[in-house]
Amino acid sequence: MTSSVNQASAIIGLHRKSYISTAGTGNDFNDQVGIWIKGYYQNKGDAMPVFIGGAGFNSEDSKMIVDRTGYVGIGTSVPAARLDVRGTEGAPIVRFSTAEVSSSDAYLKLINATSVDGSFIPNITGRAKAPGRPFGLYLTGEAEDVVPIAGEAGMAAVVIDSRSKASTALTNTNLFAIANFAQSVLVVKADGSMGIGVTDTKGYKLAVGGSMIAERVKVKLKTAWPDYVFAHDYQLPPLSVVAD
């Protein structure tokens, strides 16, 4: 089936067998194709975007577009990535669920966490349905179980890398925070200090707003930590000295 609007045409083909075009056209398909949609400029053969939905035959009315570079846009006629989805205020931008449960009972969704005009705060929400089990959003990182090489000692199976919009280290904004229904529980500040139950660490690397219990606590200056015994030029003392 071929249609023509404003010198633009579209071909929608239903294929039951492999389609092989004439040599040199670049349209060879080696596998079977169910539905094949192609847009082109009439009498020119140039590829053009494929628009889906909308009230008219123009990009402004489109609900979905596949442009000539293969970028897919949903809610936008000018996709800026392989998949570019533009949502509307108050509605989930992306939502995943499963057929086994109601979509309102369990889902993973991306929404705008603010309703302030001109603002966007990306929020990932996971709701689990596991009666009697304490799950919401389960995050897993899989990595090679190796000793980190030089320069990657601070890396891990799960890494949260905070930075400024200018791709520089933060100096004022907190790096990481855990909250319980918007109430701060733990915060890691830009200087690496941590507050548990408090947001102001008062210059200390660890500040706890409450009691703490431990089996053992050892306080020693960092320069005196015993890592030096692993240095190649370190001379082990004789057993007679160690025994004393």
pLDDT at residue 225 in the model: 76
For residue range 162-200, what is the model confidence (pLDDT) as tens digits? 999 999 999 999 999 999 999 999 999 999 999 999 999
Q: For residue 140, what pLDDT is reported? A: 97
Domain boundary among 17, 43, 69: 69
Decide if 37 is inside a domain: yes
Would you say residue 13 has pLDDT above 60?
no
Q: Decide if 175 is inside a domain.
A: yes
In a domain? residue 84: no
- Which of the listed residues 69, 85, 111 is the one where a domain comes to its end? 69
Length of the chain in terms of residues written: 244
pLDDT score at 240: 74
What is the mean predicted confidence (pLDDT) over 26-40? 57
- Above 50 in pLDDT, residue 19? no
Within a domain: 188: yes
Look at residue 47 and tell me if it is in a domain: yes
> Is residue 215, in this structure, part of any structural domain at all?
yes
Q: Which of 35-39, 73-77, 159-163 has the least mean pLDDT? A: 35-39
Residue 142 in domain? no
Domain with 195, as residue range(s), is 157-244
Asked if 125 and 112 count as a contact pair (C-beta separation under 8 A), the reply is no
Taking 90 as the threshold, does the pLDDT of residue 133 lie above it?
yes
| Span 58-69, pLDDT tens digits | 555 678 888 888
Average pLDDT, the chain: 81
pTM: 0.71
Cα(136)–Cα(124) distance, rounded to whole angstroms?
12
Q: Name the E strands within 42-113.
A: 50-52, 64-66, 72-74, 83-85, 94-96, 107-112
Q: 144 vs 156, 157, 183, CA distance in Å?
A: 10, 8, 36
On the question of pLDDT at 7 being above 60, the answer is no
pLDDT for residue 168: 97
List helix spans (H) across the chain.
Answer: 239-243
Query: Of 111-125, 134-148, 214-228, which gets the smallest average pLDDT?
Result: 214-228
Query: Could you tell me if residue 100 is inside a domain?
Result: no
For residues 167 and 222, what is the distance between their CA atoms, to the nearest angstrom?
Answer: 30
Based on the structure, what is the number of domains in the chain? 2
CA dist 36 → 15, 39, 50, 80, 169 (Å): 8, 10, 12, 24, 48
